[in-house]
Amino acid sequence: MNQPILLIDISNSWTKVGLATPKRIRKIASVETSTLHSTHLKKWWRDLNPAHVMVASVVPKKTQLLLRSLPKKNVTLLNNDLPLPLKIDYPNPSSIGADRLANALAAISHYPLPAVVIDFGTAVTFDIISHDKKYLGGVIAPGLNAMTDYLHEKTALLPKINLRQPRCAIGKSTEEAMMVGAVIGYRGLIRGILHEIQKELKTKKITIIATGGQAQLISKTMHEVSEVNPLLTLEGLYAAYLHQNYSP
C-alpha cells in the first residue's frame, strides 16, 4: 500500500482528521464541525492524495457534504452493516454511533479484553466490549463542557470557566467552586458508572481506555484508567479499513 488512507471523524463539536500508513497514524487537522466546508475536504483530498477515505460521522448534514465533495467510490462510511471483526450484542445495531463502533474496533485491535472505552466528547460515552469481541452496549451522559456551559447559561451570576485541575477540594471563589464541582465531581460520576459496569460484567480485570477532549484532565488522578489514547477513534477507522481490504 503506497498511498496513505485518510481518516475523518466527524463528531458534534469537532472534526478530527488523520492519515494512516502501515507504519503509523498521525493526526493532521482538527476543525470545528460547524465550520467544516467542502473546501476543507477537497484540499485534504488534493494535498494528501489518499488511496481511500474512512469516515465516522454522527452529523448527517456533514456526511452529505462529504459525499458531495469527495469521489464516492473512494469513501467508506463506517456503520454496522459493514463486515467487522466485532460481534454486536445489541437490539438495534443501527443506533450505535459510528464513532463508538470505531472506538470498539480500536479496543479489540490493540488492547486486552474485556474493555471499556470512555470517550469524553460533547457527551461522555462508555462502550463495553466483552472478552470474546462482542459489543455489549454502553452508557451516555452529559459531557463536561455541556454541564459547565449549562450552569453559565442558566444562572445569572455563574461565569463561564476554562477547565483545569483544581488546586484543592474546597473552592475559595465562585470559579474555584465550579472547577471542583466540574472536575472532581465528574471523576465521581465516571467512577460510579465504571463500578456498576464491573459489577455487571462480574470481573475487575477490565482494560479502561479514555479518549476525547477532556480525557487527559479527568483521567489525571484516576488509577482505574489503563491508558489515555487521543487517536483511538482514528485507529478504529483504520482497523475497519484493514479488515475490509486485507482480511481473508
Give the residue numbers annotated as catalytic, written as ranges. Answer: 99
State the cell numbers at 101: 463502533
Beta bridge partners of 120: 124, 212
Q: How far apart are CA 133 and CA 125, in angstroms?
A: 19
Map grid coordinates 472532581 to a residue. Answer: 184
Task: Please answer whether residues 225 and 210 qualify as being in contact, where contact means their C-beta atoms are separated by less than 8 angstroms.
Answer: yes
Enter the DSSP assignment of 132: T
Size (the chain), residues? 248
Amino acid identity of residue 202, one-letter, is K
State the cell numbers at 63: 456526511
Q: Three-state DSSP class for 149?
A: helix
Q: How many helices (H) and strands (E) does the chain have?
A: 8, 11
What angle do the packed helices 38-48 and 60-69 form, to 10 degrees? Answer: 50
